[in-house]
Structure 1
Amino acid sequence: MLDTLIASQDAARAEALVAILVRHGFGDMLRRLGLARALHRAGSASSLARMEEWVAQPVPVRIRHALEEMGPCFVKLGQVLATRVDLFPPEWIAEFSRLQSAAPAVPFEAIRSEMETALGHAPSSEFEAIDQSPLAAASIAQVHRARLHDGREVVIKVRRPGIRRVVEADLRLLQYAARRAEARFPELRRFHPAGMVRQFHDSLMRELDLAAECRNAERIAASFADDPRMVVPSVYWPCTNERMNVQDFVDGLPVADLAALEKAGVDRKEVARTGAQFVLKMMLQDGFFHADPHPGNVFVLSDGRIAVIDFGMVGHLSRMRREEVVDLLFGLVERDAGRVGEVLLDWAGPADVDIDPLMLDIDGFIDRYHGLPLAQLDLAGMLLEVTTLLRQHRLALPADLALLIKVCLTLDGLGRSLDPGFDMARQARPFLRRAMVRRYRPRALVRDGFSAMTDVLGLAASAPRELRGLLRMIRSGNGLRMRVDGLREFSTDVSHSANRLAGSMVIAALIVGSSIAMTVEGGPSMFGLPFFGLLGFVGASLAGIWLLWSIFRSGGGR
C-alpha cells in the first residue's frame, strides 16, 4: 500500500524510516496512520528485539532518539518543534532542545570535491590554504577555516555531499504523513500539521541555500550599520553560491566560555544588556531577526564588540504582527489583562474557544504580578505561562510567533548565564514605549487611515461583481459546491467493509447449505460423505481463508 501512495524513488527510504520508528516503539502510531502493511514489512525480528530496549523509556526520549537516527531533516524538524512551546509541555521541549545539528565529519576529499563542483574549478585557485580538520560538522553543512591568496582569514561552509536529495525525499514523506494524520485524526486539524510541514519545507529549503544565509547576514548588518558595537562577518561573494559560502573568520571568545570572559576582563553584564538590545531591535523594530541566538553563535571580540554568526535560521514579522507582539509584551509589562486577552484571541483566529474561562485564567495570571516591582518581573516566565494557558485551552500560536517566543526564552537564558541579575523586561520596556509612540505618530495614523480607506473602497467596488457571480452560479443550477476533506477515503473504507460483510454472508450461506446437503441421503459421495456437501465446505473454507488473508494484509481491516 505504501508503495502505491508514495513515489517509487521514496519507497525504500519510507520503509527505512518505518523500521526506525518500530524499533523505538511507535508501531501502534503507524498502524493508526494506516501503514500496517509497511509496518509488517519493517517489523523484522531485529527491530522487535531492539524495540524492547526503548519501550521502557519516556515517550519524549524515544522521539528524540528516533529523530536523531532518522537523519538531518528530522533533526531539523525536532529543532523546529522545540520552538513550539505553545504545543508541547516542558519535558517535550527539553528533549527537542537537546537535538543537535552536530554530525560525523565528512572526509575532506569529499568536501574538496564538493567545493570544486561549487566553484567550477580547483579550490587552490581561490584559497592559499584550507585546514582539513573541520571547525564544525553539522547535519546540513561542514565548516573549514581557510586563507585567501591576499591573506584574508575566512571560513568556508560547504553543503554535505548528497544532502539535498535526502532532504527532498524526507520532506515529501513528511508531507504525506501530515496529510495522512489530518485525515485519520480530526483532533489534530486545529494544529494544521500539513501547513506546519509546508512552512518547515520552505524554511529548510532556504537553509539548504548557503547563499541565502549570506544575504540574511548582510541584511542584518545593514540594519546595524550605525552601531559600532555589532559585528557581522563580511561575505566573500566570488566564492559564495548555493552549495558553499565564504565569510570572514571571527576571532573572539564565545559567550558560553564564562571563565575565558572573566579572565579577559570582559564586562559580562554589559554583554548581556547589549546582546538583548540587539535582538529586541531586530524583533520589535526591524521585523527581521536572528532566530537561533544560542551561545555558540555569539562571540566577544578583543575590543569589546559583539559578533554574531550563522544566519541560516531567521524570523520574519510583518508590521501588523510586530504591533500585536508589542501589544502583548506591553500588556505583560504593564499588567494589562484586557490587552493580553485581546491579542491571544486574535491569534487564536476562528478556533472554537470558550472565551469566558480563557479571560478568567488570563485575569488570574496577570493578577499574580499586580504590584510587583519591574526589577522582579520575569518576562520569560510570563511568556512561558502564556503558552501554558494556550495549551490548556487547546489553542495554537502562528508559527512566526512561536519562533519569536522561543527566541525570547533563549535570549533570557543567555542573558542570565552572563548576568544572574539580568532583567529582560527592563531591556524591553524602552523598545515597547518607542514602538507605541511610533504607532500613534500623525504620519503613522494618516498612513493607516489611508490604507483602511483603500481596503473599504476596494471591497465596495468588488461587491457587486462578486454578488453577480454568486447569483449566476445559483441560476445556472450548479448551486454551491462543498469539499469535505477525507470523504473519498471514508467512502473507500465503507466500500471495503461492505464487500467483506457481503463475503462473510456468502461464506455463512455456503456453510449452512452444505450442512443441509450433508443430511440428504443418496447422490454421489466422496470419502463416505455427500459430494455436494463436502464441496460446499471446501469452498467455504477457501473463501474464509482468502477473507482472513485480505483483512490481515490491510492491517486488521479498514
Structure 2
Amino acid sequence: MIKLLAATTRDRARLSEILGVATRFGLGWLLGRIGIGSPGDADQDAATLPRRTREALEALGPTFVKMGQILATRGDLIGPEWTSELDQLHSDAPRLPFEAIRDAVEAALGEPPETAFASFDPEPLAAASMAQVHRATLRDGREVVLKIRRPGIRPQMEADLRLLAGLAEAIEASNAEARRFQPLAMARQLARALLEELDFTHEGRNADRLREDLARNPDVVVPVIHWQWSSETLLVMDHVAGVKPDSAERLVEAGIDPQAIADLGADLVLEMVMINGRFHGDPHPGNLLCLPGNRLALLDLGSVGQVSARRRDEFVGFLQSLQSGDPAALADTLAVWSADANVPRSRIERAAGEVVARHGQGPLVMSKLVPDFLRLLREDGLVMPPDLLLMFKALMTMDGVLTRIAPGFDLSAAMRRAQGRILADRLSPERWAATAQAMVWELSRIGNGAPRLIQAAVRRLEAEPPAQASSGAAILTAGRWIAWSILGGGGLIAAALIVS
C-alpha cells in the first residue's frame, strides 16, 4: 500500500484522469470492490459491464488496451462474456497532422524526411494509440512505410505502469477473491510487454528473426527492416500491398484462392509454434495480408511469442491425445501444466475426459476447442502456464481467420502434414547437439570428481573393521556404478556425435 500511495502522489493527475474515465463509463463500483472509491454504487446493468469496461480501457489509451488484451487470453480465469468483449479491444486513435510529429521524426532521422527519402507522404496511412504510419520512397525506388512513435507517450505509459504495479500489490495483499488472478504477476507481464513495444527496435529484431526462421518458405513474406533509418522511436520497413484475409469474396476478386491461403496459414502457424518455437502473437486479419500467388505476409510484429522445446513436445502430446481420443494421456499433460495448482488427480481426469468427449477424434477447430478448454480449466481450478496462453491464443486467432475465409476448415489435415517435419525436428543434429553438449558438461563434472570420490571410498574401506564389511561392500558397489555411469555416458555422447 505504501508503494501505491507513493505512486499516486507522483502521478496524481493521471490517477484523477483514470478515476474520471471509470466514473464516466459507470465503473466506480468496480473500483470500489478492489479498494478504490466507494463500493456502495451498485451496478444497475451488469449485462453491459464487459462492454463498458472495454470502452473505458480504450479511452484510457495503450497501457490499458494492452492490459485488456492480456486479460483476454486468460480464459482460464474469466468467463467467455469477458474474453469475447476484450478480444475486440483496438488501439485506433485520431490521426495527428504531420507537423505535430515532425520534430520527433527529424530527431530520429537526423534530418527532415523530405531530404532523407526520395519522396515522403505527410498524410498518415494509418494511426494507433502508440504510433502513426506514413509512406515514403527510398532513393533506390523502394516503397517503405515509417512507423513513428507518438511524442510524449512514454511518460504517460510509465506513469500508468507505476500506478498499476502499486494497485496490483495492494490488491494481492488485501483481496483474497482477486488474488487468484495474480494481479502482481500480470502487472509485471504488462510492463515487460509494453516496454518492449515502446522500443521499435524490438519489433524490428522480431521481424528479422521470423524472416530467418521462415526463409525456406517462399510463400511467406516478412517485411525487410531498413536499420539505417530505424531507431527506438522510428521503424522503417518495406511497404507490402495486399488484401486482408477477412472475406473470401474479396480474396477471389483479387485472384487469390481462399482455400490455398487457409492451407498455407495452417501450415505456417504450426511451423512457427511446433518447429521454430517462435510465433506471431496476434495474427488477426489486420496483421496479415494475402498477396498474389496465394502468399501471406506477416505484419506488426511487436508481439512475438516464444515456446520452449519441452513445451512444444507437451503441446504435440496434447493434440495427439485429442486426435487419438485418449483421456489418460491428456490428463498426464494437464497434470504437468497444473503442477503448481495442487489439483486432485480425479479433477484433472474429469476435465481431460470432458475435453476428449467434446473435441476428440474429430475435426480440430481451435477457435471452438480453446475457449471450451479454458472454461473447463477455470471450473476445475486448473491453470495454464503463462508461456502457453499466448500460444493457444495465437492458434485460436489464426484458426478463426482461416475458418472465416474457408468455411469447414480443419486444422487436423495440417497436423498430419506437419508430423513428418515435427519428427525431423526432434531428430535433427542441431537439437541433439545441444543435448550432447549438456551431457558432456554434466559427465565431465562427474568425471572430475570421480577419482576423489573413489579414493575416499577406498581409504574408508581400508579403515573399516571387519564388522562393517557390508558397508565397505556398499562403497565398492557405488564406485563401480560411478565407473559404469562414466563409461555409459561416454558411449551415449559418442553415439550422439556419430549421429550428428
Q: Shorter-chain TM-score category?
A: 0.7 to 0.9
Report the equivalent of 2:281.
291
Normalised by the length of structure 1, the TM-score is 0.74
Counterpart contact for 1:68–1:75, Cα < 8 Å: yes
Deviates more, 1:329-338 or 1:153-162: 329-338
The secondary structure found in structure 2 opposite 1:191 is coil
Identity, in percent, stands at 39
Query: 1:108 is matched by which residue type in structure 2?
Result: F
**2:400 aligned with 1:413:** yes
Structure 2 residue aligned with 1:28: 29
Shifted more, 450-459 versus 430-439: the winner is: 450-459
Alpha-carbon distance change, 457 to 6 in structure 1, aligned in 2, over 3 angstroms: farther
Q: Is 1:180 the equivalent of 2:181?
A: no
Distance 2:369 2:446 in 1: 40
Compared CA separation, residues 303 and 442, structure 1 to 2 (3 A): closer
1:367 deviates by 3.5
Partner of 1:391: 378
Measure the CA separation in 1 of the matches of 2:433 and 2:135: 52
Tell me whether 346-355 or 406-415 shows the greater mean CA deviation: 346-355
Secondary structure of the 2:146 match is: strand
CA distance in 2, matches of 1:227, 1:91: 38
Aligned ranges for residues 62-73 of structure 1 at < 5 Å? 62-73=52-63
Matching residue of 2:160: 170
Code of the aligned partner of 2:25: H
**Deviation of 1:257 (Å):** 4.5
1:147 is displaced (CA, Å) by 1.4
Q: Secondary structure at the match of 2:92?
A: coil
SS at match of 1:146: strand
Measured in 1, the distance between the counterparts of 2:345 and 2:310 equals 23
In the TM superposition, residue 32 of structure 1 has moved relative to its aligned partner by 4.2
CA distance in 1, matches of 2:185, 2:78: 17
Unpaired runs of 5+ residues, structure 2, are: 450-500
Name the residue aligned to 1:272.
Answer: 262
Count of matched residue pairs: 448
1:13 is matched with: 14
Where in structure 1 are there 5+ consecutive unaligned residues?
463-558
* CA deviation string 1:397-435 (max 9, x = no partner): 122211111111111111111211211122123334543
Would the aligned equivalents of 2:65 and 2:91 in 1 still touch at CA under 8 Å?
A: yes
Q: How does 1:242-391 map to 2 (within 5 A)?
A: 242-368=232-358, 372=361, 374=362, 376-391=363-378
From 75, 80, 83, give the equivalent of 2:65.
75
Is the Cα contact below 8 Å between 1:33 and 1:180 reproduced in 2? Answer: no
Cα distance, 1:339 vs structure 2:
2.0
- Offset at residue 256 of structure 1 (A): 2.2
SS of the equivalent of 2:301 reads coil
When residues 257 and 448 of structure 1 are mapped into structure 2, their CA distance, relative to the original with a 3 A threshold, is same
Distance 1:331 1:225 in 2: 32
| Contact 1:85 1:406 (8 Å CA) reproduced | no
Task: Report the TM-score, using the length of structure 2 for normalisation.
Answer: 0.82
Distance 2:353 2:47 in 1: 38
Q: Does 2:393 match 1:403?
A: no
Indicate how the Cα distance of structure 1 residues 347 and 151 shifts in structure 2: closer, same or farther if over 3 A, else same: same
The answer to which of 253-262 and 389-398 deviates more is 253-262
Tell me how far apart the structure 2 counterparts of residues 84 and 34 of structure 1 sit (CA, whole Å). Answer: 23
Q: Decide whether aligned partners of structure 1 residues 62 and 220 sit closer, same or farther in structure 2, where only a CA change above 3 A counts.
A: same
Whether the 8 Å CA contact 1:329–1:432 is kept in 2: the answer is no
Residue number in structure 2 paired with 1:430 = 417
Kindly provide the amino acid, as one letter, of the partner of residue 184 in structure 2.
A
Specify the alignment match of 1:226 in structure 2.
216
- Write the letter of the residue equivalent to 2:397: T
Separation in structure 1 between the aligned mates of residue 308 and residue 288 of structure 2, nearest angstrom: 26
CA 459–331 in structure 1, closer or farther in 2 if over 3 Å, else same: farther
C-alpha separation in 1, matches of 2:294 and 2:339: 45
Question: How far does the alpha carbon of each residue in 1:454-502 deviate from its partner, in whole angstroms, 9 at most, with x for none?
Answer: 679989999xxxxxxxxxxxxxxxxxxxxxxxxxxxxxxxxxxxxxxxx
3-state SS in 2 of match to 1:361: helix
Taking the aligned partners of 2:420 and 2:326, their CA distance within structure 1 comes to 15
C-alpha displacement of 1:132: 2.1
Q: CA deviation at 1:381?
A: 2.5
How many Å apart are 1:4 and its aligned residue? 3.7
- Alpha-carbon RMSD across the aligned residues, in angstroms, is 2.9
Q: Within 2, Cα distance between the matches of 1:452 and 1:75?
A: 45
- 1:118, 1:275 → 2: CA distance? 36
Partner residue, 2:113:
123
Query: Quick one: distance in 2 between partners of 1:85 and 1:97?
Result: 11
Mean Cα displacement is larger for which, 152-161 or 361-370?
A: 361-370
Answer with 1 or 2: which has the greater Rg.
1
8 Å Cα contact 1:333-1:379 kept in structure 2: no
